[in-house]
Each structure stands twice: as structure tokens, then as C-alpha cells.
Amino acid sequence: MEHHRKDMTVLPDLAKERGRVGPVRDRRPIYLDLLPPCNAACPAGENIQEWLRLIKAGRAEDAWRQLVLDNPFPAIHGRVCYHPCETACDRGDLDSSVSIRSVERYLGDLAIAEGWAYTKPKRRSGRRVLVVGAGPSGLSAAYHLTRLGHEVEIFDAGDEPGGMMRYGIPEYRLPRDILDAEIARVVDMGVTIRMKSPVKDLKATKEAGNFDAVFVAVGAHISKRVDIPSMDASKIVDAVGFLRDVASGERPVIGRRVAVYGGGNTAMDAARVARRLGAEESVVVYRRTREQMPAHEDEALDAENEGVKMNWLRTITSMDEEDLTVEIMELDDEGRAVGTGRFEKLEADTVILALGQRADTDFLRAIPGMEFHDDVVDVDPDTLMTAVPGIFAGGDAVPSDRTVTIGTGHGKKAARRIDAWLNLEHFDQPPKKPIVTLETMNVWYFGEHDRRQHIEADARTRVQDFTEVLHGLTTQEATFEAARCLSCGNCFECDGCFGACPEDAIIKLGPGKRYRFDYEKCTGCATCYEQCPVHAIEMIPEGNR
């Protein structure tokens, strides 16, 4: 948490002294709305604090509608997002962070159960946009472009929509009925999805469909390979193909002992899937240390709880009929893994390669002027437009971390930039307000309350099938968890300032309308500022506005 907070903007403290001021007021209080750290950390740009507030007020559908203004897939993200919002949450420095992902899942599941639908656009622009790829980034862009009034068609090479959400994330993390329900809502809104329709000539496809703009959102479906000498090449498979086959209903024969080569999230999923396919031993082999692995800690812990073993500082050099030869590595003075010349044997019937993926962007290389960085497309970071006017790109196709939430955020960002480009406008991103830290708040106001979390299925039995591992929150649990939100930097009408003002200079405006200051009565004593729990009041020099 500390490294996260060092870069945060801290507001100036202009109210150091307590009590009445002199006959001439030299400072005055103002109400303000600051940026909560959860909102600031969300790659999808959700107004998390606001939808938590609506749940707390008993307005679940309004909360869901607020959430889907930014992210159309709360039931999906409530399961697979790596919740940077919770890492940033100020409450984590008080007792424990708000379980935001759990509450988001609750809203998403409730919306599916209740049949809530997106609001359809009231106008049509007459413009058509081609989206290449039906993964999280492409679907998100299509949703937001449709909301803006444009007609959208998605072309995808796969059999079913969802991209890596369907073919890369196992069912025990993301049940397919949940995925299907949230994608169906996008289709019902008016988006056309053309499956089994790979785009090989983008220029020809664009012209044939009379599209005015393009958003490229192809996934990273191509596994990176490494040559491992083997007596039987069929015993070495790539993780992406392995997960795709399983997601498509196949049950590949992998034997009793499986080694997964790699240290990312895909490696953890492959190792856990192997256990569910009957592997008695599933071992992750990674050339660096646990601290250096790219997999999220939660993923590694879940894998270990399910019996997956970790073999750090090892690299595979060859594969024989019944075992592997691995070289023992060590870290040099700069923290790099280097070989020691010492080797050992590791029994394995199958090796699954999970050494990373590259984006399938080869079809773009025929377009004059398109610029690349290895397998990804170079884009303007502010607009996501490529070097070719009218062609935008996001998600796995551009330089970025590859997660569902980042891809979804790229889709929203691209939709807004494409809309501006189509309208010959410049999209101006509003400046962000300062981020609130716990040190600027009055934590005495808030009691300590234990966090409500998902219940996990027993690790000893859940490896027997692909049933979902985590269970959702009840309405009571979700409401309780939402109420733990500190409302950092934004007034929640606690009446603290109203009751504390010695001059009756604060006027209540009614539920949901907050307050205003009567500056004819205000002396600038800062009592309101000092007691405000959430730093929604600041003292400014007299004469400032």
C-alpha cells in the first residue's frame, strides 16, 4: 500500500488552528468532491463509490445501472477482476478493504436473475463501426458505441463470443451461463456479432460493410513456444490450446503426472485444470522465484490449495519418456535467474507450455502505414488510434497488461474517442481531482467491522469437477459490505458539519441535495472542516473561489 500512496496528491491543510477567528474572516469553508482511490484505480473507470452508496441506500437496480454506465459486465468482473480497487481502498489502512469485487458480483448476478436490461439508445447516428474481436475489449467497445447511437458489427473467428473469457478462463472461475447472459444483453441492445468470421483483409471488410471506423480488439491467442528436446512431441502441448480444448468440451488425456512450464495466471489455470482432469500430480515449473512470478498471488494460492506443487528456480532442458530433466537456477547479483549447471529429474507424462501469448495481429501488416511493436499495434495512448486514421485498437492488441478489466476499459475509452473522431471533434478528458488518503480523513467516525467475503468450496472436493469455486454474497452481506465504504472525499450527509457549526451557518438542502454555507454567518472557524469524516470540506483563503 505504501508505494501506492506516495504519488497521491495531498490537499493543503489550511485549517490548523481551532476556534473563533478575528473580526475579519481570512478563510472560508467550501464543499468539494474529491477522487476516491477505488475509482482512481479501476481500469474500467467505474464510479465505485457511487454504486456502493446506492446499494447502501437499498437501491440495487439504480446501483447496477450506475455501474453499467462504465462496465457492461459486472457479473463477469465480479468473478475474474484482480480488484486493484481493493488494493487502493483507504479502508485497508483502517481494518480491511471493502470487498468491492464481491459486491459487484452480487449486483451482476442480481441483474441476471431479475432480467434487467440495458437502456437502448434514443438516437441513431447513421454511422457504422466494425469491431474485430468478440472478447472483453471488443464487446465493451460495441456496447459503448451502441449507447452513443452508432451501429456496430463484431467479426470474430471463434465459434462463440467471449474471446479469452470463454476459451482462456476455466468454468470454475467463470461459469458459461453467466458469460452468456451478459453477452446476450449486449446483443439484445442491438449489437450484431458474426462468429466464424475471421477478418483476413481489413480494408476489404471495411469497404464491403460501409464501415466508417474500425476498432481492432483481437486477443492474444497464439502461444509462445520454446524448443524442448523430446522423444515424443505429442506429450508437449501449449496452455492456450489446452484450455481452449477443455472449454470446448474436450477432455484431453494428460496422464497422472503433469508439469506446467511458466509462472503466469495461464500457468496456474492450466495446472488447476489438469487436477480436474484427473492428474494426481500437477507441478508448476518456473525459472524464477515466487516473488518474481507474474501470476497474481490469489491465483497461486488457489492452485496450491488444490494440490498444485510449485517448483521454483527450475528450467526444463529436455523430456524423456517418463520424466523431465530440469536445470537448477539461481539469482545473480542483479536478481536475474542464471543456470548453475546442476540438473535433476522430474517425473511427468505431459508438459503444458504456459510461457506467454502473442496477439494475432498478422492480418494488419498488409495495411500501409500501420506501425507495430513486436506482436502488438502502436497506438496513440490518448486516443487509441493507430497510425492509420480511422483504425483504432485496444485490449491484447496494444501494449498493455492483459486482463479482462483493462480490455473492458480500453473498449470504453476507444468508443468515446471513435465517437469524437466520427463527429470531427476532439475528446477532452476532464481533469482528475486529487485522490483522498486516509490521513486526510477523520477515522474516529468509523468503527471497525469485519469484511464479508465469498465462501469457497472445499479445496479437497472442488477439483473433482468444474463447478464454480466461489459462492456469491447474500443481499444482507452485500448491503453490509457496501456500508463499510468510507465515502472518501465525498459528502454522504452525516450532518456532522450541520451539528458542529457554532454559528448556524450551514443550511440543509434536503435528502440527496447535501448542504450549503451561509457566508454571512460563517466566521471561518473551521469547526466543520475539522469534524468532517471524509474530507468533503476544505478551507480556502478568503477571496478564492
Per-residue pLDDT for 543 more than 80?
A: no
Residue the block writes with cell 441476471: 112
The CATH H-level (homologous superfamily) assignment of domain 244-355 is FAD/NAD(P)-binding domain (3.50.50.60)
Per-residue pLDDT for 7 more than 80?
A: no
User: Could you read off the pLDDT of 174-183 as tens digits, one per residue?
Assistant: 999 999 999 9
Please provide the average confidence, as pLDDT, over all residues in the chain. 91
User: Could you read off the pLDDT of 467-521 as tens digits, one per residue?
Assistant: 898 899 999 999 999 999 999 999 999 999 999 999 999 999 999 899 999 999 9
The phi, psi pair for 122, rounded to 5°, reads -90, -20
pLDDT band for 381, please (50, 70, 90 cuts).
Answer: very high
CA–CA gap between residue 371 and residue 12 (Å, rounded): 44
pTM over 0.85: yes
Per-residue pLDDT for 6 more than 90?
A: no
pLDDT at 545: 62
- Widest distance between CA atoms in the chain: 92
pLDDT at 21: 52
Contact 95, 161 (CB under 8 A): no
Higher-pLDDT residue of 450, 4: 450
Residues 37-116+441-483, CATH architecture: Orthogonal Bundle (1.10)
- The domain ranges of the chain are 37-116+441-483, 128-221+359-422, 244-355
pLDDT band for 65, please (50, 70, 90 cuts).
Answer: very high
The percentage of residues in the chain with a pLDDT greater than 70, rounded to a whole number, is: 95
**What mean pLDDT comes out for the span 388-399?**
94
User: Could you read off the pLDDT of 332-361 as tens digits, one per residue?
Assistant: 998 899 999 999 999 999 999 999 888 889
User: Could you read off the pLDDT of 414-426 as tens digits, one per residue?
Assistant: 999 999 999 988 8
Residues facing residue 283 across a β-bridge = 259, 309
Domains 37-116+441-483 and 128-221+359-422 share a fold: no
Residues facing residue 257 across a β-bridge = 281
pLDDT at 375: 87
User: Could you read off the pLDDT of 431-456 as tens digits, one per residue?
Assistant: 889 999 999 998 878 877 777 777 88
CA–CA gap between residue 264 and residue 268 (Å, rounded): 7
Contact 525, 21 (CB under 8 A): yes
**DSSP for 428-449?**
-PPPPPPBP-GGGS-GGGS---
pLDDT at 22: 58
Single out the residue of 250, 288, 294 nearest to residue 268, CA to CA.
294
**What mean pLDDT comes out for the span 33-42?**
96
Top CATH class, 128-221+359-422: alpha beta
CA distance from start to end of the chain: 34
Per-residue pLDDT for 4 more than 80?
A: no
The percentage of residues in the chain with a pLDDT greater than 90, rounded to a whole number, is: 78
